[in-house]
Every structure is written in structure tokens, then in C-alpha cells.
């Protein structure tokens, strides 16, 4: 029969490993929440994904700061026109590396637009994305999201290169 102290060590290790998986899952859910929030035009839901001082950097077009900045983008005439013409902000499942209360992630973001006359959609943009996340009392939030179109420029390659060193989250 196992003694209590060896069992306690095993339980402690389980708690740590489970927490790591929960963190990765919460962050993946945060990323999966972005598209439905902005494509339904829900400015508050989109804003709540970011931290109070969070940044959304859409290189080289504009940089949004804070939840008001995010909400403003969703309520803006440009975005409202997009969703009323038909569009999809489709994000892929991210690669994520967690380090305590901070984390980083990388994925792709499609900006897709409906063309009723052609009876199909066009991929207006396909962007490399880098995310910085932070855990606070309300859970995980986005501290910074950087989005750069994959148009052959060096910037999206540099951004994705950050994901490959180290491969800490994979093994």
C-alpha cells in the first residue's frame, strides 16, 4: 500500500499538469471566440477578449488600444458594412506556449468576403498572427495581437519565426 506522502506528491504533480492543459484549452477557446464575436457584430464580446490595456496591431493599417479601441472597430461603419455585405473572420487553432501567467500563440487569420454576383467568397486577406496572453483574476486575456498579411513581405515571416524558438510547447 502506498504511503500518504508519496500519494500526495503524485496528486501535486497531477494538479500541475492538469493546470497546464486547462491553460492551453482556455487560450484556444479565447482565440476561437474572436470570429463569432466580430462576425455577429458584438462589440462588447470582442472587447472582453482583450485585457484592459490590450492592443490589436493590424500591421500596417492601424493599432487599436484597450477594450474601447476593440469595441470601436466592431461598431465602426467599415466593419458594419463588411458584416452586412457578408464576411468571415476565420481563425485557425493556435500553436501556444505557456509560461506561468503569460503565454504566446501563433496562428492564421482569414478575412473572407461574400460576392453575391459571383456566388462565392474571396479571400481578401490571409494573415500571420502572433498573440500575447496574460492570466489575471478574470482568467486569460489577450495583451497583444499582431496581424500581418502574408503578401510576401518579410514581416509575417519574422513574426512566425518567433514561434519556432524554442519548440517548448511541442515535445
Q: Are 43 and 75 in contact (CB under 8 A)?
A: yes
Nearest Cα to Cα of residue 130 among 102, 163, 153: 163
Range in contact with a copy of itself (rule: CB under 8 A) among 52-60, 65-73, 134-142 = 134-142
Query: All 3 cell numbers of residue 140?
Result: 486569460
Residues that bind a copy of itself (rule: CB under 8 A) add up to a total of: 84
Q: Which stretch binds a copy of itself (CB under 8 A): 26-34, 51-59, 61-69, 70-78?
A: 26-34
- 104 contacts 71 by C-beta, under 8 angstroms: no
Tell me if 117 contacts a copy of itself by CB under 8 A. no
Q: Which stretch binds a copy of itself (CB under 8 A): 7-15, 55-63, 65-73?
A: 7-15
Residues 72-101 that bind a copy of itself (CB under 8 A): 83-88, 90-96
**Cβ neighbours, 10 Å, residue 141:** 20
Please tell me whether residue 120 binds a copy of itself under the rule CB under 8 A: yes
Give yes or no for a contact between 160 and 146, defined as CB atoms under 8 angstroms apart: no
Cell of 47: 472587447
Which of 36, 66, 73, 103 lies at the binding interface for a copy of itself (CB under 8 A)? Answer: 36
18 binds a copy of itself (CB under 8 A): yes
Amino acid at each position: 500500500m502506498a504511503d500518504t506522502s508519496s500519494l500526495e506528491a503524485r496528486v501535486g504533480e497531477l494538479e500541475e499538469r492538469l493546470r497546464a492543459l486547462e491553460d492551453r484549452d482556455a487560450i484556444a477557446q479565447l482565440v476561437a471566440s474572436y470570429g463569432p464575436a466580430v462576425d455577429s457584430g458584438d462589440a462588447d464580446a470582442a472587447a472582453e477578449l482583450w485585457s484592459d490595456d490590450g492592443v490589436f496591431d493590424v500591421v500596417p493599417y492601424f493599432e487599436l488600444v484597450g477594450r474601447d479601441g476593440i469595441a470601436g472597430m466592431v461598431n465602426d461603419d467599415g466593419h458594419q458594412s463588411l458584416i452586412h455585405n457578408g464576411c468571415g473572420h476565420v481563425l485557425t487553432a493556435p500553436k501556444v506556449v505557456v509560461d506561468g501567467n503569460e503565454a504566446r500563440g501563433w496562428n492564421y487569420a482569414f478575412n473572407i468576403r461574400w460576392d453575391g454576383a459571383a456566388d462565392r467568397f474571396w479571400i481578401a486577406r490571409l494573415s500571420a498572427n502572433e498573440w500575447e496572453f496574460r492570466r489575471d483574476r478574470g482568467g486569460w486575456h489577450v495583451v497583444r495581437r499582431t496581424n500581418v498579411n502574408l503578401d510576401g513581405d518579410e514581416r509575417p515571416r519574422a513574426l512566425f519565426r518567433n514561434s519556432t524558438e524554442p519548440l517548448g510547447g511541442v515535445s
